[in-house]
Homo-oligomer: A and B are copies of this chain.
Amino acid sequence: MKDFVFYSPTQVVFGREGAEQVGALTAAFGGRKVLVHFGGGSAKRSGLLDRVCRSLEESGVAYMTFGGVKPNPRLSLVREGIRLGRQEGVDFLLAVGGGSVIDSAKAIAYGLAMEGDVWDLYSKKAQARACLPLGAVLTIAAAGSETSNSSVITNDDTGEKRGYTSDLCRCRFAVMDPSLTFTLPPYQTASGCTDIMMHMLERYFHPGGTASMAADSMTEALLRTMLVCSRRVMEQPEDYDARAEVMWTGSLAHNDLLQCGNGMRGDWACHQLEHELGGMYDVAHGAGLAAVWPAWARYVVDTDPGRFASFARQVMGVAETEDKTAALAGIAAFEAHLRSLGMPVNLTELLGRRISEEEVQKLAHGCSFQGKRTIGTLRPLDEADMAEIYRRAR
């Protein structure tokens, strides 16, 4: 087992009555003047925003609301939030929404605790030294941002989608009410389930194969849970228990628990390949991951067929004894599962058209930071590899 640090301090409050506890939680974690950050109108229409604001009022916590976050959250809105927060003396960020809202709130919280430009963090020009405390009321099971130490922001001037990682931005608390996800559109539900499974797969496929039985066996257990429950939420959107399994697994998939002992790195190539797609075409994150994973998996399978075979046998129920055959059967079975959720499994299905060779080159050039970096750890991929995966994913 490899050395690790595990730190997941977020207090998770799970159940139907979570919104009513937001005020007390915010006050307990020191919030006095809160910026309540949210997305479009659904938090308003559903009455959730009112419940949250009432709870803050009842606990004597001052607040202001600031909405408008869109999927692939924009730097321009983050900058507006920082200006507003500074002007109003905000000392706590409360995100009411999904991963995009939480990521946007994290970026605002960083920005309010630094003097320079917050994009310097995401473009790797600076390191954060502080971050305002945050809380989250989760409405979408997907990104895992409520317990993760990462956030991803898109620079709307340049189209770059970049992540920044630091324990400073871990939420103090996360209120999770699975019933808030009953009304998510099917495509968004499926995209969220895909994102959750991919957070586990990105960690499972790391260099060196099994390094921790605990991490591997828990990952396999939760992937099997997701295979069952992702189908159940598609068939019965108001199945509370299935929504709950998906929501809770979404947090466990991304709070680093599942990589402890495995080297803490994971692969993350598919996330990088998708970030480039998200920046260029503004697609749903999970759908973008589904569209590149099968091509990635078949491209790298020979690097560690035994690992893919373990996935096939322990998660996908493949009985095949020969490793490479099992590995390919597992990839096909997972691809079929994604398809059964209504997810695209290639770029043509994702975008509704076949991208050109020029677009392939542009994606690979962007994803490789103009040829200056490789991505992935199971098999490090350079610009030419990236181009080939995008090409095969068409």
Interface residues of A in 1-44 (CB under 8 A from B): 1-9, 11-17
Q: Knowing A214-B248, A221-B218, A222-B218 touch, does A6 contact B14 (C-beta < 8 A)?
A: yes
Chain B residues with CB below 8 A from A240, complex form: 1
Whether the pair A4, B11 counts as a contact (CB closer than 8 A) is: no
Chain B residues with CB below 8 A from A228, complex form: 213
With both beta carbons as reference points, the residue of chain B lying nearest to A314 in the complex is identified as: B221
Chain B residues with CB below 8 A from A218, complex form: 218, 221-222
A260 interface contact, C-beta 8 A? yes
Query: Which residue in B8, B17, B178, B214 is a CB contact (below 8 Å) of A249?
Result: B214
A245 interface contact, C-beta 8 A? yes
Q: Per-position contact with B for A59-99: 1 when CB-CB < 8 Å, else 0?
A: 00000000000000000000000000000000000000000
Whether the pair A5, B1 counts as a contact (CB closer than 8 A) is: no
A229 interface contact, C-beta 8 A? yes
Q: Knowing A217-B224, A217-B225, A261-B14 touch, does A8 contact B5 (C-beta < 8 A)?
A: no
Chain B residues with CB below 8 A from A221, complex form: 214, 217-218, 220-221
Q: Per-position contact with B for A180-220: 1 when CB-CB < 8 Å, else 0?
A: 00000000000000000000000000000000111001101
A331 interface contact, C-beta 8 A? no
Chain B residues with CB below 8 A from A248, complex form: 1, 212, 214, 260-261
A244 interface contact, C-beta 8 A? yes
Chain A interface, number of residues (Cβ within 8 angstroms): 39
A252 interface contact, C-beta 8 A? yes
Whether the pair A12, B16 counts as a contact (CB closer than 8 A) is: no
A241 interface contact, C-beta 8 A? yes
With both beta carbons as reference points, the residue of chain B lying nearest to A15 in the complex is identified as: B3
Whether the pair A214, B225 counts as a contact (CB closer than 8 A) is: yes
Copies of the polypeptide in the assembly: 2
Whether the pair B3, A245 counts as a contact (CB closer than 8 A) is: no
Chain B residues with CB below 8 A from A9, complex form: 8-9, 11
Q: Knowing A244-B261, A249-B214 touch, does A16 contact B3 (C-beta < 8 A)?
A: yes
Q: Knowing A213-B225, A217-B222, A218-B218 touch, does A244 contact B1 (C-beta < 8 A)?
A: yes
Chain B residues with CB below 8 A from A241, complex form: 1
Chain B residues with CB below 8 A from A3, complex form: 14-17
State the Cβ distance, A14 to closest chain B Cβ, in Å.
5
Chain B residues with CB below 8 A from A213, complex form: 225, 228-229, 245
Q: Knowing A6-B14, A240-B1, A261-B244 touch, does A252 contact B214 (C-beta < 8 A)?
A: yes
Bound Cα distance from A17 to B245, whole angstroms: 37
Bound Cα distance from A245 to B16, whole angstroms: 35
Interface residues of A in 248-270 (CB under 8 A from B): 248-249, 252, 257, 260-261
State the Cβ distance, A187 to closest chain B Cβ, in Å.
24
With both beta carbons as reference points, the residue of chain B lying nearest to A252 in the complex is identified as: B214
Query: Which residue in B16, B224, B245 is a CB contact (below 8 Å) of A212?
Result: B245
Chain B residues with CB below 8 A from A225, complex form: 213-214, 217
Chain B residues with CB below 8 A from A17, complex form: 3
Whether the pair B6, A15 counts as a contact (CB closer than 8 A) is: no
State the Cβ distance, A214 to closest chain B Cβ, in Å.
5
Most chain-B Cβ atoms within 10 A of its Cβ — which of A15, A214, A229, A260?
A214
28 contacts between A and B (CB under 8 A): A1-B240, A1-B241, A1-B244, A2-B15, A3-B15, A5-B11, A5-B13, A6-B11, A6-B12, A6-B14, A8-B8, A212-B244, A212-B248, A213-B225, A213-B229, A213-B245, A214-B221, A214-B222, A214-B225, A214-B252, A217-B221, A217-B222, A217-B225, A218-B222, A221-B221, A244-B261, A245-B261, A248-B261
Ranked nearest first, the 4 interchain pairs of A and B with the lowest CB-CB distance are A3-B15, A217-B221, A1-B244, A9-B9
